[in-house]
Structure 1
Amino acid sequence: FNRPQYMQERLQALKEPASAEAVRSAFNASRDEILQNAFTRGLPEGARYVLDAAYRADLARGWQNGALTSADAFAHYYAHFTRDQNAFEARLPSLKTPVSVVWGEQDIYINKEMGVEFARRTGAPLRLLPATGHYPHLQRPHETIEKVRAAFR
């Protein structure tokens, strides 16, 4: 949904033409900090997790692709996907596929209220994962898999 109020401030700023370029530049300038902390930012110390070294190396290796960085690609995507959000929301009444919403309760990038609203509007069950952030499949893979599998039972 196009609900900037559910998004982290920097993500909101990417959707605003007046501030998008400054945020994109800041993302590029803070590459190392992003690679170090993006997956665990906002989580309490006890809920933090370690990414596999090969995964981290792949993220760092893939950051630069010619003149384009991961931050550039993300900023472009995020600044322009409102159209798709609006099209998706407009088509919700015709959704026929059963849906289950699995969301990290401590997601600081997209607030859990987005998942709550989506579940309510689609009549889908909501499974909030406690002490979990934006990347439940990385932070709590076994619990996330169980929640997804439970949706098919």
Structure 2
Amino acid sequence: MPQKEEWIAPEGSWASSAARRRNMQAIRARDTKPEQLIRRLIHAKGLRYRVCARPVPELRRTADLVFRPVKVAVFIDGCYWHGCPEHYVPPKTNSGYWSEKVLRNMERDRDTNRRLTNAGWLVLRYWEHEPSQSCADEIAATVISRRNL
């Protein structure tokens, strides 16, 4: 009978199993379904934008949508990774690591908001569970109103 190989995590990995590692590697950092839907809706309104771009080049943070001429940066945050108050559920395995990671993400989001605001940008943040049409409508209205200033 063949022996079952013991799974050993690669160095630096916090994955608790090979299956968990595959699952975590499959999570997208960009081009998520909510992002794509909002982008399509905004594009249909005739607005153009940069995708996954740094609003401020010297700041190593990327926004999901960037409207450079009017200085609007849009973020569509995942409920788990950014600690949504409605949908975040603490993990059952390796909870210390993942909970700390989410807290760091939340702190980085606040820092990003502060830095971009100080640089003259308007930051718009939406949760992935929010209705895409209402997000797109609000983004378009904001960009259009800032164009007319």
TM-score, normalization by structure 1: 0.31
Higher relative contact order (Cα pairs below 8 Å, separated by 6+ residues): 1
Look at both structures and tell me which one has the larger radius of gyration over its CA atoms.
2
The answer to which structure has the higher helix fraction is 1
TM-score, normalization by structure 2: 0.31
